[in-house]
Amino acid sequence: MLENEDVQKIIDAQKDVFPTKEDFETFKDEMKGDFSNLQTSVDGYVKKVNDYSDDETLLGHKVNRHENWLLQIAEKLGLKLEH
């Protein structure tokens, strides 16, 4: 038959193996914090990617504008530029 000490040992061993409700709540709070940090990092990265994409688009338009100017100058000078 189990003694009170044996039962207490089983209860203590069970605490090490199975999480308690308090352990789970702590874990849940930590995961919420980690997820929030991850979400903030991803949002920052997406902003950088969007800014880079916008810069590349503007640079492309600028290059096209300069190319058109060069073609117009070449035409006025009677030069034929091939592209």
- Return d(Cα 6, Cα 40) in angstroms, integer: 50
Q: Is residue 25 part of a domain?
A: no
What is the residue range of 69's domain?
A: 41-83
- Return d(Cα 56, Cα 34) in angstroms, integer: 33
- Return d(Cα 83, Cα 76) in angstroms, integer: 17
Residues 6 or more apart whose CB falls under 8 angstroms from that of 59 comprise: none
What's the pLDDT tens digit per position in 15-46?
Answer: 777 777 888 889 999 999 999 999 999 999 99
**pLDDT at 73 (0 to 100):** 95
Radius of gyration of the chain (CA): 34
Torsion-angle region of 2 (φ positive above 0: left; ψ -120 to 50: alpha; else: beta): beta
Q: Is residue 17 part of a domain?
A: no
What's the pLDDT tens digit per position in 39-70?
Answer: 999 999 999 999 999 999 999 999 999 999 99
Q: Is residue 2 part of a domain?
A: no
Number of domains composing the chain? 1
